[in-house]
Amino acid sequence: MTIESMNHFTVLSSNLEKTKSFYIDLLGLTDGYRPPMASAGTWLYAKDKNHSILHIMAGRTMPEHAPGVIDHMAFTATGLQSVINTLKQQGISYTLNRMPELGIWQLFCYDPDGAKVELDFAADEPTPVE
């Protein structure tokens, strides 16, 4: 067997519309095709409209203790200042690290249900006004 790429992440949501808004309005993913399923949810897409990268599932009881050991999900992004402005407008806290040795800015924040999200921006993006 050979792994070819990451297919998608799935996050659980206690409020589907609020979680969709975070990933669509804040991070710029787009809502797309999701096959008929018994559970509520949505599939989100980035540039490749043929491949969903994030599945949101709602209508399930949120686990008391989160299963597994995944720490966070990371996306490559553009528009660092715009993202910071939007996070501030929405009252969402974040941390920003410049990683010149990796050629990136790393921004960390949390979705409405506490999933840790990393956004990686090119190091040549202008230093943001925080």
Pick from 20, 6, 9: nearest CA to 113: 20
Please give the domain boundaries of the chain with CATH numbers for all domains: 9-59+71-122 (3.10.180.10)
Neighbours of 73 (CB within 10 A): 16
3-state helix, strand, coil in the chain (%, to 5): 15, 35, 50
* Residue pLDDT tens, the chain, 130 long: 765 778 899 998 989 999 999 999 999 999 999 988 888 999 999 988 888 999 999 987 777 776 666 778 999 999 999 999 999 999 999 999 998 888 889 999 999 988 999 999 998 999 998 7
